[in-house]
Amino acid sequence: MQRLDLKVSGLIFCLLLAGNAMASNPVSRTHSYNGLALTPPMGFNDWAHYQCHISQRLFVQTANALVNTGLAKLGYRYVNIDDCWMARYRNAAGHLVANRKLFPRGMKWLGAYLHAKGLKFGIYEDAGYKTCQGKPGIYGHIQEDVRTFASWGVDYLKLDYCYPPDNRFPGKNFSQVAHLVYAKVSRALRHSGHAIVFSCSPPAYVFGKPKLFAQVMSWIGSVCNLWRTDDDIFDAWKSVLANFNGNVTLGRFSHPGGWNDPDMLEVGNRGLTIREQRTQFSLWAEMAAPLLISTDVARLSPAALKILSNAAVIAVDQDPLGIQATLIKQEGSVDILSRPLINGDHAVILFNKGSKRTYATVSLKQLGLNPGRYRLQNLWTKQITWTHRRIAAEVRSHGVVMYRLHAIP
């Protein structure tokens, strides 16, 4: 997706959304519409780091790196190709074809290579006339393109929304047209004979427009497995923070098989400090977001690999209850989030947005927990402590303290 200007900050937008149109737009699904993606997808997507600088070699090297580093065993199994993979025109039969200079062996070969590695194959298209980079879109070719993807062994379809077919639906607004088009693709995917996770983009195109955003969110979970909620992320702290702010209050839409997607992980890239990378990873896990790495996986630093390999934080993201965290409290520059987990546990994050180290506290009562004694495991330092009243910690600038709480009988 091309970057959009943030006309309204994420946090202000969410406050408007909560107080305005949401009451008249109930969520239309509380379960996976197709039985897939019962935990947030994990893997790789090239766009945030490479954009159009892609090739067959890149995805082969990435697949090998996911396996060789042990990331695949931790759940990073999707290898997703974004825009720019296809030729500028369809072939004489009207079928999509790969750019042969970039992918000389074609997409069916690449899908087979990924599957032989125990990985999953993801691909990109657009619901409109053209992709954001001017390649052929799916509109007018839905059935044949879905059949093509299934024949290639595609396991994940990211469907963008540049160049929408608004002119084909006079009198209908953005949400109504998007619903019709995405629902048609969704039906085709369900009947393709192959299990394909469906990633959708319409909410990101009306981010900052509360009424339209509310309308899109009222149906998105009935036809998609995950959906972009924010602007395209890029390798800078302000972008990570904006997408966090835009996504953090949308938990009522999230459920197993239907995930709010604040976009890709910047872990491993140079625009964030190691602390900021650790923070993004923690916040995305707390929000039950997809964990899609967008960096040079084959050249991950030991520090970045350590972040991505934190099994305790991954377990929070992949928790089978599938409940996104709630923003419990804001105390100065600190946001405090809590998320219920399986077996009665809770994941709690103290997140310091500010430029100075600060001290933050939250009581068990504020977290909605019953009185009693709790075991606290710091998911980054591994330190174990106990509490029966409150959680308190000093949090560094742009950092998090992340705990897993377990009630002691």
- 22 band by pLDDT with thresholds 50, 70 and 90: very low
Indicate the pairing of strand 358-363 with strand 390-395: antiparallel
| Predicted confidence (pLDDT) per residue in 157-167, tens digit | 999 999 999 99
Q: Answer yes or no: 160 catalytic.
A: yes
Say how many CA atoms lie within 13 Å of 255 toward its Cβ: 15
| Predicted confidence (pLDDT) per residue in 370-404, tens digit | 999 999 999 999 999 999 999 999 999 999 999 99
- 29 band by pLDDT with thresholds 50, 70 and 90: low
Q: What structural domains does the chain harbor? A: 10-317 (3.20.20.70), 326-408 (2.60.40.1180)
45 DSSP assignment: E
The active-site residue, picked from 230, 232, 261, 345, is: 232
Helix (H, G, I), strand (E, B) or coil at 211: helix
Give the helix/strand (H/E) hosting 305. helix 302-308
Q: Which residue has the higher pLDDT, 21 or 340?
A: 340
What is the Cα Rg of the chain in Å? 21
Q: Answer yes or no: 46 catalytic.
A: no
Q: Any residues with CB less than 8 A from the CB of 48 and at least 6 apart, and which?
A: 232, 233, 234, 235, 263, 264, 266, 269, 294
The active-site residue, picked from 160, 231, 261, 345, is: 160
Q: In angstroms, rounded to a whole number, what is the distance separating the alpha carbons of residues 196 and 184?
A: 14
Are 137 and 159 in contact, with CB atoms under 8 Å apart? no
Nearest alpha-carbon partner for 107 in 78, 148, 138, 67: 148
Q: What pLDDT is attached to residue 31?
A: 87
Nearest alpha-carbon partner for 260 in 35, 37, 23, 13: 37
pTM: 0.93
Q: Which two tokens stand for residue 131?
A: 């992709």
Q: The tokens 């976009």 sit on which residue?
A: 263
Percent share of the chain, pLDDT over 90: 92
Decide if pLDDT at 2 tops 90: no
193 DSSP assignment: S
| Predicted confidence (pLDDT) per residue in 131-159, tens digit | 999 999 999 999 999 999 999 999 999 99
Q: The tokens 């800078």 sit on which residue?
A: 236
Indicate the residue type of 373: R
91 DSSP assignment: -
Mean pLDDT of 296-323: 98
